[in-house]
Structure formats: C-alpha cells, structure tokens
Structure 1
Amino acid sequence: MKLTWQDSEEIALALLAAHPKVDPLTVRFIDLHRWVTGLADFGDDPKQSNEGILEAIQMAWYEEFRDQ
C-alpha cells in the first residue's frame, strides 16, 4: 500500500531512514515536499499537500529524530 499525505507518522519514519543525520527543523518545506514525493513508497498526488500537512510531517519526523 502506498503512502499518502495523511500518513505523517509512516512518512516521518521513512524520512528518518533516508536522512538519519538531518535535523528536520532545518529542512525547508520545498525540500521536504521533494523528499516526501521522492520516497519509493509514496503514491499520493504531489499537488495535494499544503503547509499544514508538511508541518505535521516535519513535527512527526522531528519527534522520531529526537527519540533516536
């Protein structure tokens, strides 16, 4: 099953695996969007994201990053 914009926790884990040393709070939304849509398991419409969705993904990623 492909990831969608609503799968912020799963996307966060995939981003952590792909970019383990990157502090998520330093990533610009334009880069975050590119990284999310570039994930092999991502299958949603790239145009369906917005600032709120990207922020939720970034915060979920940050929590995982902090806990590692």
Structure 2
Amino acid sequence: MTRLDLAALTSQGYGFQVEVAWELERLGCPIVEVPITFVERTGGRSKMSVGIAVEALNNVLRWGWELRFGKRRAK
C-alpha cells in the first residue's frame, strides 16, 4: 500500500485540499464528488485571498505541465 507523503506537500491554506486530491488521484485512489449544501456566511470575513487562489491555480497549471511534458530537471 502506497501512502501519501504529507511532508512532500507544498501548498498552504486552501490549496492544500487541491494538492491532496491531486496526489491521491496520482496514487490511484478513487476520487468522488460529494454534494453539499452551502449556506452563505452571515457574519465574519472569509480567510480566502487572491494569493490563495493564485497559488492553487499555479499548482494546477504546473501539475498539468509536468504531466504532459515531464518534470524539468535541475542542472
């Protein structure tokens, strides 16, 4: 049984969820969608920031690039 190497994960904040899903899929784990009912916030502020969204987008683009063209090797 292969286990997820949590020490190798690099994402911070909400991007962590995206990275874990990506890594688990790469290990062959089944990924399923579970519908939820989202209730709008009635107070307080979100911790989501532009930086968090950019990090997640950059990771997804990088993983797609590496999947298609291979990882770039350091010289």
TM over 0.5: no
User: What TM bracket, shorter-length normalisation?
Assistant: 0.3 to 0.5
Normalised to the residue count of structure 2, the TM-score between the two structures is 0.34
